Amino acid sequence: MEALNLVLFVAEAIAYFVLMVTLLHFRHRLGLGVFLTALGVMHFMETYLAAVFYVSLPFGDVSPGSSVFFSGKLMMILMLYLWEDAATVRQPIYGLFLGNLLTVGIAWVLQMHQPLQLSSNHTPDVDFLKEMGWLMIWGTALLYVDSLGIILLYEKLGDFFRRRVVLRFMISGFVLLTFDQVGFFAALHYFLDVPTAVFWGGWKAKMLSVCLYGAMFAIYEYRIRRLGADAAARSISDVFGDLTFRERYNDLLERTGRDMLTGVYDRTRMELEAPLMLREALRQGLSATVLIIDADHFKDVNDGYGHLQGDVVLKSIAARLGTTLRSSDRIFRFGGEEFVAVCPGTNHEEGLLLAERLRWTIATSVKTPDGSPVTVSIGVATADEDGSGFTAVLSAADGRLYAAKKGGRNCVVGRSGLVKLG
């Protein structure tokens, strides 16, 4: 019986390592979340087996949950660190710890219920769930310390065995799993009165696991990983991959044609989209208004405070335009300190009111470093009263902008002339 248990013990360790390393190896195709989920989903089973499930091996009584699966988890965390970074390693540890706290909290709340016993063979045992929750919290706290320790020890051993990766891997496992055995057995002895004799059997089993995992790590590191790196990096094709591609494509499309400084769309994007926006509005029998907004005396801002401060002013203007315009409107940086707003479904009178609101908002909220207000001049034109094509409407708005600047700036000029003088 002991020989059969030993064979099964080794088989379980090999199966665990092969499955988890496969997920880790193909993380760029499947996504790292698949590996992390598989790593964390077994935590309850590991703790449960460590508490109640033991088998007899030639060197003592051991729990596969602790000796195979928890030991494997710690070695997987070290491998994850070697191929990713410490920031990635902390994700499953923090997730497990918070999830276990939630388990204990839920068990505490459930005790307030009066549960029904639907079958004599299935009696609710909330105390067991709470007890296991505390064991899992303790185990996760140990895992946190174990993970820090195994990473730091692995790095420290690099001072002595820089090129002996497998040796460092195994020494780190021997030391930290010995520490873990002491810490977790203390909890088992306290909560479940597990006998002291089990400690030594469990420790020997963990050392055997490290030997098995170390041997498989060496095979993988020198025979498989270096040959299969390119294949592992290729993306997988499934429904989630298709969704991800579409989301990234839409995001790329949204970011293409953005002005690097202000974040609004640039002139190239305007030349592509603005004519379509006007054409679609006219096709639906609606008006479409175009505003040209120019920052007054902007050269003085650059000359007086420097171009970096001038950039701050431009970004502030763009931000105010973005928060004042509607979601259906589009704002483009036309060049230098000039912006163009295209507002479909907006007639000329509504466009004038919108332009005045923009002018007032900027004048009252955008300042130079000495507290002086930054003002804008705005020219307004509307399709199809000022033309049916975007070029014609933009030209009309540009002429009215020139009139606004010539008329004293800080004002809006439409078809009938000056609207507001600040």
pLDDT tens digits, 277-303: 999 999 899 999 999 999 999 999 999
Pair (187, 226) in one structural domain: yes
225 or 267: which leads in pLDDT: 267
Give the integer Cα–Cα distance in Å for 383 and 368.
Answer: 35
Percent of the chain predicted with pLDDT > 70 = 89
Looking at the structure, tell me whether residues 334 and 407 fall in a common domain. yes
Reply yes or no on whether the pLDDT at 29 is more than 90: no
Average the pLDDT over each of 46-55, 122-131, 411-420 and give the range with the smallest value: 122-131
Final residue belonging to a domain, choices 243, 268, 294: 243
The least confident of 71-80, 140-149, 304-313 is 140-149
Whether residues 205 and 325 fall in one domain: no
Average pLDDT over residues 300-311: 92
Average pLDDT across the chain, whole number: 85
Does a structural domain hold residue 252? no
Domains held by the chain: number: 2
Q: Could you tell me if residue 251 is inside a domain?
A: no
The residue that leads in pLDDT, 115 or 357, is: 357
Residue 161 belongs to some domain of the structure:
yes
Residue 277's contacts (CB-CB under 8 Å, 6 or more residues apart) are 288, 330, 342, 344
Tell me, yes or no, whether 109 and 175 share the same domain: yes
Do 39 and 9 share a domain, yes or no? Answer: yes
163 vs 55: CA distance, rounded Å: 38
pLDDT for the residue numbered 33: 85
Lowest-confidence pick of 96-100, 176-180, 288-292: 96-100
Report the distance separating Cα 331 and Cα 293, nearest Å: 10
- Let me know: does 143 contact 96? Beta carbons within 8 Å: yes
Same domain, residue pair 287 and 327: yes
The mean-pLDDT minimum among 22-36, 324-338, 365-379 falls in 22-36
> So what's the pLDDT on residue 236?
47
In a domain, 249, yes or no: no
Lowest mean pLDDT among 5-9, 125-129, 200-204: 125-129
211 and 308 in a common domain: no
Band (pLDDT 50/70/90 cuts) for residue 403 is very high
Residue 118 lies in a domain: no
Looking at residue 255, what is its pLDDT? 61
Q: How confident is the model at residue 107 (pLDDT cuts 50, 70, 90)?
A: confident
Claim to verify: residue 67 and residue 23 sit in the same structural domain = yes
Q: How far apart are CA 372 and CA 354, in angstroms?
A: 24
* pLDDT value at residue 129: 65
pLDDT at residue 249, as a whole number: 54
DSSP string of 315-369, one letter each residue? HHHHHHHHHHS-TT-EEEEEETTEEEEEEET--HHHHHHHHHHHHHHHHHH-B-T
Beta bridge partners of 332: 265, 340
> Residue 421: what pLDDT?
43
- Provide the pLDDT for residue 240: 47
Q: Which of 243, 272, 293 is the last residue of a domain?
A: 243
Pick from 216, 243, 270: which residue ends a domain? 243
Q: pTM for this structure?
A: 0.53
Question: Which pLDDT value is given to residue 48?
Answer: 77
> Is 254 a member of any domain?
no
Tell me the CB-side half-sphere exposure of residue 272, using CA atoms within 13 A.
Answer: 8
Please state which of the ranges 101-105, 166-170, 222-226 shows the lowest mean pLDDT.
222-226
Whether residues 404 and 306 fall in one domain:
yes
In a domain, 377, yes or no: yes
Mean pLDDT, range 101-124, rounded to an integer: 75
By three-state DSSP, how is residue 264 classified? coil
Residue 253 lies in a domain: no
Cis peptide before 127 (omega within 30 of 0): no
Say whether both 269 and 232 belong to one domain: no
- Domain housing 289: 259-421
Of 207, 213, 181, 204, whose CA–CA distance to 194 is shortest?
A: 181
> Could you tell me the sign of the dihedral formed by the alpha carbons of 65, 66, 67, 70, in that order?
positive
The structure tokens listed for 241 are: 């991959």
User: Per mean pLDDT, which range of 39-43, 124-128, 415-419 is the poorest?
Assistant: 124-128
From the list 152, 167, 144, the residue with the least C-alpha distance to 89 is 144
**pLDDT surpasses 50 at 237:** no
**Do 228 and 273 lie in a common domain?**
no
Q: Are residues 183 and 292 in the same domain?
A: no
Asked whether 74 and 173 are in contact (CB, 8 A), the reply is yes
Long-range contacts of 313-316 (CB under 8 A, 24+ apart): 313/366, 313/368, 313/374, 314/261, 314/262, 315/261, 315/262, 315/263, 316/365, 316/366, 316/374
Which backbone phi and psi does 45 adopt, to 5 degrees?
-65, -40
- The CATH number of whichever domain residue 286 belongs to comes to 3.30.70.270
